[in-house]
A and B are shown apart, each in its own frame.
Chain A
Amino acid sequence: MASSAAIAQVRPVSPALQFLKLMPGVLLLAGVGYAGKLLEVNVGKYAKAHHWTFPNIEYVLWAILLGLLISNTVGVPEIFRAGVATYEFWLKAGIVLLGARFLLGDVLKLGGTSLALVAVEIVGAIAFMTFLGRVFKLKPKLTSLLAVGSAVCGVSAIIATQGAIDADEEDSSFAIAAILALGALSLFTFPLIGHSLHLTDHAYGVWSGLAVDNTAEAAAAGALYSDAAGKLAVLTKTTRNALIGFVVLAYAFYWASRGQAQAVGNKAKFLWQKFPKFVLGFLLISTLATFAFFSKEQIGALANLSRWAFLLTFAGVGLRTNFRTLSQQGLKPFLVGAIGEVAIAGFTLGLVLAAQRIFGW
């Protein structure tokens, strides 16, 4: 019986059935996202008609709030979970399509500036998180995971590093929970800070891309401020993502030299495996747009497709965030993550303000 059950678990499922299993969750993402769009328009109209003073809440926040409401009250039923988990897929497709809105020259110029800021951010974040981990006596590999998660790109970086340094599943889930909880908080705090400091769209977008760890939350935090800030947040975050392979490789070397992880064989192959391929897709679409492969109307159509893909992502950010589950993951990693994130947010804000002065953003 046990044997047949085990075989049943690995029996290949037809692609059509796999696709069908995703449909309920994808439809839920679309429904929640679209409801967010409808709320943005209709709540504003209703408030205006009744002469209420009501802040203009963008569809991004409505979609996230609706998702959070469902996830933290009735919960997401099993039938929807596989499809809801596709929100990262839509995020990556959306980023590639967003490439059409950037000319290659802008990407190189903005990406070059971002790269310098990202390099400083990564070094500073890793050093500070490692220091905090030692102060709070966290397990060394958990500290490494938290450092990579907060320095580079959240969940993807933690999963990539877990495999490379042979860390425990438990450490990985602690680190992921801390990064996700703090990402959810940043959605509400970053726009408030940005507005209170009167940051320009450019400065705020770069700051979100530098300081918010998970790509979906970075895109959402940027879009909550403005469309232009959302674009820049994605570009800066994509620059951070592009460096994931180098950071994971450095950690793999470190732990292998201590005999606590497998040695890395082919470094080029390792880097290619860890490199996020959607970054190449983004650059390629941007190159095509630069060389007028698409007309102005077609670029508009691609930009709107990108917005629809992000809409599903923002709904997914809310739907997959369950505060009760996150709170069960342990206080210490969360505390280290929280202190680290606040410090990194302050540090990167300082970097952005300095860059704003130098480059006149």
Chain B
Amino acid sequence: MSQEAAAVAKPKRFSLDAWAVLLAFTLAALVRAGVFKHIPW
């Protein structure tokens, strides 16, 4: 059972922090590229 579990359970590639950084940099790149010109608040 434990082997089966180990076989199907994949280790996480990225931490929560890494995903947050990735999202922030993607958004920054889109803003820099002019895809998002104005973000209202």
List residues of chain A with CB under 8 Å of any chain B CB: 3, 6-7, 10-12, 88-93, 96-97, 100, 276-278, 280-281, 284-285, 288, 293-294, 297-298, 300-302, 304-305, 307-308
Contact = CB atoms under 8 A, between A and B. Distances in A.
B33 to A, nearest CB: 10
B8 A11 contact: yes
Interface in B3-38: 4-5, 8-10, 15-21, 23-25, 27-28, 31-32, 36-38
Contact of B25 (A90, A91, A281): A281
A288 B27 CA distance: 14
A89 B21 contact: no
- Max chain B CB contacts within 10 Å: which of A88, A280, A288, A305? A305
B31 A7 contact: no
Which 9 A-B residue pairs are closest in the complex by CB-CB distance? A92-B20, A96-B24, A281-B21, A277-B17, A304-B39, A301-B39, A93-B20, A304-B41, A93-B24
A297 B41 CA distance: 13
A277 B21 contact: yes
A10 B37 contact: no
12 contacts: A12-B9, A89-B23, A92-B16, A92-B21, A97-B24, A97-B28, A284-B25, A285-B28, A288-B28, A301-B31, A301-B39, A305-B27
A294 B5 CA distance: 47
Nearest to A280: B21
Q: Provide the main secondary structure of the chain A interface.
A: helix
B24 A285 contact: yes
Nearest to B18: A277
Contacts of A89: 16, 19-20, 23
- Max chain A CB contacts within 10 Å: which of B24, B28, B31? B24
Nearest to B2: A6
Contacts of A276: 17
Contacts of B20: 89-93, 96, 278, 281
Nearest to B15: A277
A302 B39 CA distance: 8
B17 A297 contact: no
Given A91-B20, A278-B20, 20 more contacts: A90-B20, A92-B16, A92-B17, A92-B20, A93-B23, A96-B20, A100-B28, A277-B15, A277-B18, A278-B24, A280-B21, A281-B20, A281-B25, A294-B31, A297-B38, A301-B31, A302-B28, A304-B39, A304-B41, A305-B39
A12 B40 contact: no
B31 A96 contact: no
Nearest to A289: B28
Contact of A96 (B9, B25, B39): B25
A247 B19 CA distance: 24
Given A93-B24, A281-B20, A305-B39, A6 B5 contact: yes
Nearest to A278: B17
- Max chain B CB contacts within 10 Å: which of A6, A90, A97, A280? A97
Contacts of A302: 27-28, 31, 39
A90 B16 CA distance: 10
